[in-house]
Structure 1
Amino acid sequence: MIPLWLTIVSILSLIAAFSSAALIIIDLRKRPQPMAVMNPVWPITALYFGPIGLWAYYALGRAAKPQSAEMSGHNGHHHHDGSDQPFWISTFIGSTHCGAGCTLGDIIAEFLVFFTGAAFVGSTFGTELVLDYVFAFTLGVAFQYFSIAPMRGLGLKDGIIAAVKADFLSLTAFEVGLFGWMALMRFVFFGPHLHPDSPVYWFMMQIGMIIGFATTYPMNWFLVRAGIKEAM
């Protein structure tokens, strides 16, 4: 039996998250990101970080206001130009990039398993983990490709190879944190009775994705320092 207070907290958290994502989307219409792939990344980040994601967007990632042609050569800047900001900010933004692909993949996979009842070896939980990773990896590589390929001037094949190299470890680190939390949800806190049709489920997944962000952050730090990923 899920306590009423937890259901209320979950609903409020989801409302705050969707509201934060909506505010970012509205602002992006006026101030699109210089790197186009970051336009979906910031709203998706707000879906699990909520108001913290909104703060991070305004404090760390918001683009400069578009200027008229005669002013475009003067005083223009962008918050997330990796050349003029602290390394921890570049790593944070790179981690949001990784987290967005994982989050979107996880959402798709969770609903797919829930609505189809798909089960590998008789386990829907095992199916969730497998499909979460597959969808997260696919979308993560796509997100990574559209950042690395333009920055390095790579073609399709080389861009995909570079994206896989850059995203495999960071994505895996994110999923390790998330999957660990999902195991606690399943085997310690709620058993097999909590499903994606409950707001509590997605509140718990928000927590899991924040944990995933925490586990992928040091990996992104290492990958950028090693030159495997680009600073965002």
Structure 2
Amino acid sequence: MAQSYTALDTILQSPWFLVAWAALMLPSLALVIRDLRTRNAHLMPLMKWVWALTVVYSGPLGLAVYWWSGRKEIAADGQWRRAARSVAHCYSGCGLGEIVGLTLAVGILATPTTATALITFAFAYSAGFALTVGPLMQEGTGFGQAARDAIYSETPSIAVMEIVAIGVDLTLAGSAGPTQVLFWSSMIVSLSCGLLAAYPVNLVLIRHGIKAGMMDPRNTDHAHG
């Protein structure tokens, strides 16, 4: 186990890890953007950002999630695919909050581990919360009701996602800061771990009617390009 961890640490500290990641992520992002523009331009602008950010954070894994659940070309829909769209929606906001929180806590404030975890969680939760409340209010829901709905439906998913992601990141990165390769490579690994951990949570929430899940992409008909 110790040897495996040492080998992983060596890989994550290598600049070639980030080069390899860029070589995988950038073509995946280009493919998603092209597909969203040419085949799935009808999707809501919010979901286009969701899918783009999901791929930025998780590269080919994010692309696979989009291809399997987020396109009008899917053969059928169901709870498994709805959960995938739901976790991607949560992930897009929380991932952004996590990146900002970690960079602020470690790179600028140089906080100890516990404070870093709390600051990062606060930023991630706030971003995920805003990404849920904002669209609800645009649909006419009052802030109070939208906030209650977001807390009730999103807290379990965000909590599991961020506990796993932050835990993995702090374990792998140690005291590394934004000027070090390990800081960014650990974040890449941790974000995808959070996505995978939160998927079954979203599936359970949808099955129990706590979350509705994101709309079937085959049934959206927006004029947005």
Q: Do they superpose with TM above 0.5?
A: yes
1:195 aligns with 2:183: no
- Residue 216 to residue 145, structure 1, CA distance change in 2 (3 Å): same
Q: Please tell me the residue identity of whatever aligns with 1:156.
A: F
SS of the equivalent of 2:41 reads coil
Could you tell me how far 1:150 is from its partner in structure 2?
A: 6.5
- The answer to whether the 8 A contact 2:91-2:195 is kept is yes
1:56 aligns with 2:65: yes
For 1:146 and 1:24, the matched residues in 2 are separated by 24
The alignment of Structure 1 onto Structure 2 pairs a total of residues equal to 205
**Which of 3, 26, 43 in structure 2 is aligned with 1:34?**
43
TM-score (norm 2): 0.78
Deviations 1:130-155 (A, max 9, x none): 2211111111012222455677x633
Q: Percent identity?
A: 26
Correspondences of 1:43-122 after superposition (within 5 Å): 43-63=52-72, 79=74, 85-119=77-111
Could you tell me how far 1:41 is from its partner in structure 2?
A: 0.9
Could you tell me how far 1:172 is from its partner in structure 2?
A: 0.2
- The answer to whether the 8 A contact 1:21-1:43 is kept is yes
Deviations 1:148-169 (A, max 9, x none): 5677x63332122211211111
Could you tell me how far 1:56 is from its partner in structure 2?
A: 2.7
Could you tell me how far 1:181 is from its partner in structure 2?
A: 0.8
- The answer to whether the 8 A contact 1:148-1:230 is kept is no
Q: Please tell me the residue identity of whatever aligns with 1:200.
A: L
Could you tell me how far 1:52 is from its partner in structure 2?
A: 2.4
Aligned CA-pair RMSD? 2.7
For 1:95 and 1:33, the matched residues in 2 are separated by 21
- Residue 204 to residue 135, structure 1, CA distance change in 2 (3 Å): same
Deviations 1:50-84 (A, max 9, x none): 122223323321246xxxxxxxxxxxxxx49xxx5
TM-score (norm 1): 0.76
Structure 1, unmatched stretches of 5+, are: 65-78
- The answer to whether the 8 A contact 2:79-2:207 is kept is no
Computing the radius of gyration from Cα coordinates, the structure with the larger value is 1
**Which of 130, 149, 156 in structure 1 is aligned with 2:118?**
130
1:12 aligns with 2:20: yes
- Residue 19 to residue 135, structure 1, CA distance change in 2 (3 Å): farther
**Bigger relative CO (Cα 8 Å, ≥ 6 apart):** 2
For 1:135 and 1:15, the matched residues in 2 are separated by 29
